[in-house]
Structure 1
């Protein structure tokens, strides 16, 4: 399918690396003006520069999505420069390993601040404008952890469960305003985060552990960021105009074939 977003503005949080980077690149190649929001100035600006070097349109905004005044200020700035936000992709998120007993309060709060409040803050900042302009699309990054129990991921699972239910609530509340809101639920995806996690926690055993983690997906491998980006592209396009309030697993069979 030839999906185009010419004259559209897409905001992508956490666009400086991994899945977010792939989303930004694909949307820019498809004609959108991409606004990257990221807490990492260096990586966010680097992706923006890379997109511009390829002849596409992009802007970078430093933003802590967990800080509501900062989020609203950032959206005020970008809408003054880009006229309106047609698409919001809430991709920014952080991980935590631990069960209930060994999840400290500060870890729980940190996960909540980014993964839950960050999604809420960005939707809160854009929803009024989307209503006034006659519509828009919101796509949230949930996780297989939203739907099934994953060992040692208590706080992370909590946060992604919240993303799933926020998605359904927004879809229902704003369906008459021509605003579609969906989420996707990836399983393990091969990103720099995975490589860094393995290097830090399994030095000298990276290849062994990578293979072990890959085999937890029934399909026998991790997903690639570009595969996730392709699904996001479709769900944000007019070709998906009949889809709202829905979660799409993209997981190599993890949910259905493991339960």
Structure 2
């Protein structure tokens, strides 16, 4: 596995699902971790379990003031940030375009698109102080291919894919790498809840992946760890699928 000793990481949406798996893995690999989440109690439970070098701060990723406070708290505790994992997200409303309201669309884009924008923008000065770093944006397989009844989610995740590439080019002279990860169905609490709402229609999302199963959150967290580590030192601007073969078709 990858060595994250000495890394200072902020992981958004770190209270559950992929984010919690990433917080656990990053801690075990030697990083100091700030979990940023609106689910503060769940995040604190995880931090208590992990012990030293893990802190929690309430972070609504759509709010610049929250980002500024969390980055400052991370620096005060651990030093400048050299890893940011933009993981927090919304699954979308799963409605036909004709039934999707503008307010619903904007809400998903605020979390999934504007959240990573604010993170990449506001962490920059800290990463410069750190001498460089790695930003990992959790996009989706549906940031590379479309899905019916999922325009709000697809739009926001396609945006993350493009934003990642633009930031990678701009930040390269600063020794800051930026990459996106594109998961298929990951069996997180959020995804399980969505699949329950979809009922038998949910089976199609598993069947679209050649591996024909959902991923465990740790399988995506390990991709985050690779991109956060020096093992990926020449990787930037990549859109890395971890999707069970979804986008290979």
TM-score class normalised by the smaller sequence: over 0.9
**SS at structure 2 position matched to 1:217:** coil
- Of 101, 104, 110 in structure 2, the residue corresponding to residue 104 of structure 1 is 101
Deviation at 1:39, TM superposition (A): 0.7
- The match for 2:147 is 150
Consecutive unaligned residues in structure 1, runs of 5 or more: 203-207
Structure 2 counterparts to residues 222-237 of structure 1, below 5 A: 222-237=214-229
Structure 2 counterparts to residues 142-221 of structure 1, below 5 A: 142-202=139-199, 211-221=203-213
C-alpha distance in structure 2 between counterparts of 1:133 and 1:49, whole Å: 27
- Of 118, 122, 127 in structure 2, the residue corresponding to residue 121 of structure 1 is 118
- The match for 2:16 is 17
- The match for 2:42 is 43
Query: Is 2:133 aligned against 1:136?
Result: yes
Decide whether the 8 Å contact of 2:91 with 2:191 is kept in 1. Answer: no
**SS at structure 2 position matched to 1:174:** helix
C-alpha distance in structure 2 between counterparts of 1:252 and 1:150, whole Å: 16
Structure 1 runs, 4 residues or longer, greater than 6 Å off: none
**SS at structure 1 position matched to 2:5:** coil
The count of residues paired between Structure 1 and Structure 2 equals 248
Consecutive unaligned residues in structure 2, runs of 5 or more: none
Deviation at 1:211, TM superposition (A): 4.9
Q: CA RMSD in A?
A: 1.5
Deviation at 1:86, TM superposition (A): 1.2
With the length of structure 2 as denominator, give the TM-score of the two structures. Answer: 0.94
Query: Is 2:233 aligned against 1:256?
Result: no
Deviation at 1:131, TM superposition (A): 2.1
C-alpha distance in structure 2 between counterparts of 1:240 and 1:18, whole Å: 24
- The match for 1:70 is 66
C-alpha distance in structure 2 between counterparts of 1:98 and 1:68, whole Å: 29
**SS at structure 2 position matched to 1:25:** helix
**SS at structure 2 position matched to 1:10:** strand
- The match for 1:245 is 237
Decide whether the 8 Å contact of 2:11 with 2:86 is kept in 1. Answer: yes
- The match for 2:78 is 82
- The match for 2:31 is 32
User: Between Structure 1 and Structure 2, whose CA radius of gyration is higher?
Assistant: 1
